[in-house]
């Protein structure tokens, strides 16, 4: 059972060949087996998984399960879950229990078979899951290395077979980069495709919830479950949800694929470039028309992102004041109470971003930093519009390197931020982007990123499906 994709397991559950409860038991056993090494979860929820799986099985007897139901899911701890504590990887929310489920989970009803709440960088800030207040997650491919971040817990759990699929969030790469480093598929949908209600905000103009899965079919099925308009999120799009599975096997014949030259330069490790080049070559063999694409402002995307994202988080984190949510330190007077609570509750990276963001938004600096960054964002959007008028799909590496060693970048925030150079352009433009495993370099997985225009996920998934079929990679749980 552990080697099946989520879709294959779902079919067996529908057909009554396997029960959801058996699947939940298998996931729970696997969690017990590997968690002391991997640390993918902040809060495992084995009883919840069993109880809800039992209810799914009861309903399955009458038929009518929705196609994604009953398959144990890993949920990043930034998504609100009713009655289950949701920490965001932070001390400040150590005892916070939400009163409702994130809207993205609504299509699972009351019976979401949740294996647990996955580890993450604090408030989703980071690229290695080392910024968690609950200890780092380890990469199942090499326990001395990071799983990427910030959704490193979800990525590692899926790679280790502690659940068949997972949900992460992507503000500037946090679904795609950990997926790449752990050898799984990670999809950041179009901004607004999935409701953000109940997702604890990082960068509100960037945040997207996305599937982290064993293969592209699983990503399509999980997107089907979470996509849709939500009247309770004014930024969610009222665009019909297509069937993401019908065109999946259509292949790439005649598809125009552009390789982004600015994201294939010497900043990217040679071994990574080689894997991406090989996959693109195979896609050409399979009938795609391949050329070179250019996104000139991709060189400035990282700088713009690291102004806009901290600006938004400095504002979003203001709500954690010791009054309304989570931790409160006792003190004389309200200002002293705020100060002590935030001093104790936030980790170093949260404090760094609050300072950077507050600075960039303050009078006298706003025009020089925040307004400039927004202009770069507009240029980035125009670059994509131009490139996507010539190509259907753009391709690049997902990350500049394979998984690095734990501790290698913790003393150097800039080195950590540079992990995101390939991921942030799509985030700034709000377009969908997916990472699929393309092969190995030095024995570690390399992700290939595919990007396309707003709301063209069906085509993107079809291209990604072909990419995974031509790639040199087969999923199997580790360690
Ligand atoms: N690594 C990026 C950051 O630290 C992206 C994080 C994310 O997408 N949540 O901001």
Q: pLDDT band for position 385 (50/70/90)?
A: very high
Of all atoms in ligand 1, which is nearest to the CA of residue 126?
4
Axis crossing angle, helix 372-390 with helix 298-316, rounded to the nearest 10: 130
Of all atoms in ligand 1, which is nearest to the CA of residue 305?
10
Q: Is the CB of 173 under 6 A from ligand 1?
A: yes
- Residue 425 pLDDT greater than 90, yes or no: yes
Q: 374 lies in a domain?
A: no
For 259, list phi and psi in degrees, rounded to 5: -90, 125
Q: How many CA atoms lie within 13 A of 73 on its CB side?
A: 31
- DSSP state string for 94-156: TT---SS--GGGGGGGGG--EEEEEP-SGGG--SSSTT-TT----BTTBTTB---SSSHHHHH
What is the Cα 317 distance to its own chain's centre? Answer: 20
CA–centroid distance, 44 to ligand 1, in Å, is 24
pLDDT (average), residues 18-22: 98
Cα-trace Rg, the chain: 21
CA–centroid distance, 306 to ligand 1, in Å, is 9
Q: Is the CB of 203 under 6 A from ligand 1?
A: no
Q: Is 174 part of the annotated catalytic residue set?
A: yes
Q: 376 lies in a domain?
A: no
Residue 63 pLDDT: 82
- Residue 180 pLDDT greater than 90, yes or no: yes
Residue 325 pLDDT: 87
Q: Is 154 part of the annotated catalytic residue set?
A: no
Q: Residue 72 in contact with residue 54, Cβ under 8 Å?
A: no
- Residue 202 pLDDT greater than 90, yes or no: yes
- Residue 313 pLDDT greater than 90, yes or no: yes
Percent of the chain with pLDDT over 70: 100
Q: Which CATH number covers residue 50?
A: 3.90.1300.10
**Mean pLDDT rounded to a whole number for the chain:** 97
| Domain count across the chain | 1
- Residue 168 pLDDT greater than 90, yes or no: yes
Q: Which residue has the tokens 């600006």?
A: 311
Residue 23 pLDDT: 98
Provide the residue range defining the domain that includes 173: 6-243
- Residue 62 pLDDT greater than 90, yes or no: no
Q: 222 lies in a domain?
A: yes
Percent of the chain with pLDDT over 90: 98
Q: 416 lies in a domain?
A: no
Q: 239 lies in a domain?
A: yes
pLDDT (average), residues 3-15: 96
**Which positions ≥6 away from 167 have C-beta within 8 Å?**
73, 74, 75, 76, 79, 104, 154, 209, 210, 211, 212, 222, 226
pLDDT tens digits along 242-256: 999 999 999 999 999
Q: 420 lies in a domain?
A: no
pLDDT (average), residues 448-476: 97
Residues 12, 76, 91, 117: which is the catalytic one? 76
Q: pLDDT band for position 304 (50/70/90)?
A: very high
Q: pLDDT band for position 473 (50/70/90)?
A: very high
Q: Which residue has the tokens 């989520």?
A: 6
Alpha carbon distance 221, 214 (integer Å): 12
Q: 72 lies in a domain?
A: yes
Strand, helix or coil for residue 283: helix
**Which positions ≥6 away from 47 have C-beta within 8 Å?**
none
Query: Which of 173, 311, 348, 419 best tests ligand 1's pocket when mutated (most atoms within 8 Å of CB)?
Result: 173
Q: Is the CB of 309 under 6 A from ligand 1?
A: yes
pLDDT tens digits along 156-167: 999 999 999 999
Residue 178 pLDDT: 98
Residue 64 pLDDT: 84
pLDDT (average), residues 11-25: 96
Residue 33 pLDDT: 98
Q: pLDDT band for position 148 (50/70/90)?
A: very high
Q: 435 lies in a domain?
A: no
pLDDT tens digits along 355-370: 999 999 999 999 999 9
What is the Cα 427 distance to its own chain's centre? Answer: 12
The first and second tokens of residue 328, run together, are 């409160």
């Amino acid at each position: 059972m552990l080697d099946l994709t989520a879709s294959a397991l779902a079919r067996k559950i529908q057909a009554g060949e396997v029960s959801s409860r058996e699947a939940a038991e298998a996931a729970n056993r696997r969690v017990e087996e590997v968690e002391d090494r991997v640390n993918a979860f902040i809060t495992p929820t084995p009883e919840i998984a069993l109880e809800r799986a039992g209810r799914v099985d009861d309903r399955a007897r009458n038929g009518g399960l929705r196609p994604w139901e009953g398959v144990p899911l890993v949920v990043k701890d930034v998504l609100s879950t009713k009655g289950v504590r949701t920490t965001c990887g932070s001390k400040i929310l150590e005892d916070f229990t939400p009163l409702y489920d994130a809207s993205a989970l609504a299509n699972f009803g009351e019976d979401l078979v949740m294996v647990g709440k996955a580890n993450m960088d604090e408030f989703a800030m980071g690229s290695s899951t080392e910024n968690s207040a609950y200890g780092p997650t380890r990469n199942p491919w090499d326990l001395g290395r990071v799983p990427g971040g910030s959704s490193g817990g979800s990525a590692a759990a899926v790679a280790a077979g502690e659940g068949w699929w997972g949900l992460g969030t992507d503000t500037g790469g946090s679904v795609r980069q950990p997926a790449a480093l752990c050898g799984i598929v990670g999809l950041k949908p179009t901004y607004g495709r999935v409701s953000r209600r109940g997702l604890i905000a990082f960068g509100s103009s960037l945040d997207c919830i996305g599937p982290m899965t064993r293969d592209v079919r699983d990503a399509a099925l999980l997107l089907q479950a979470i996509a849709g308009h939500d009247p309770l999120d004014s930024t969610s799009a009222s665009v019909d949800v297509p069937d993401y599975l019908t065109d999946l096997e259509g292949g790439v014949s005649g598809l125009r694929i552009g390789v982004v030259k600015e994201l294939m330069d010497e900043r990217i490790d040679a071994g990574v470039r080689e894997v991406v080049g090989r996959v693109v070559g195979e896609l050409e063999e399979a009938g795609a028309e391949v050329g070179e694409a250019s996104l000139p402002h991709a060189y400035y995307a990282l700088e713009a992102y690291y102004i806009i994202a901290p600006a938004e988080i400095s504002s979003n984190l203001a709500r954690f004041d010791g009054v309304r949510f989570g931790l409160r330190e006792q003190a004389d007077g309200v200002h002293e109470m705020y100060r002590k609570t935030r001093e104790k509750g936030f980790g170093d990276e949260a404090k760094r971003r609050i300072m950077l963001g507050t600075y960039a938004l303050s009078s006298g600096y706003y025009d020089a930093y925040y307004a400039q960054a927004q202009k770069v964002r507009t240029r980035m959007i125009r670059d994509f519009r131009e490139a996507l008028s010539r190509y259907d799909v753009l391709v690049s590496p997902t990350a500049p390197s394979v998984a690095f060693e734990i501790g290698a970048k913790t003393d150097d925030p800039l080195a950590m931020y540079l992990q995101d150079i390939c991921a942030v352009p799509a985030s700034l433009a709000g377009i969908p982007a997916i990472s699929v495993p393309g092969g190995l370099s030095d024995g570690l997985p390399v992700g290939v990123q595919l990007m396309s225009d707003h709301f063209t996920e069906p085509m993107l998934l079809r291209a990604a499906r072909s990419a995974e079929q031509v790639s040199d990679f087969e999923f199997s749980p580790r360690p």
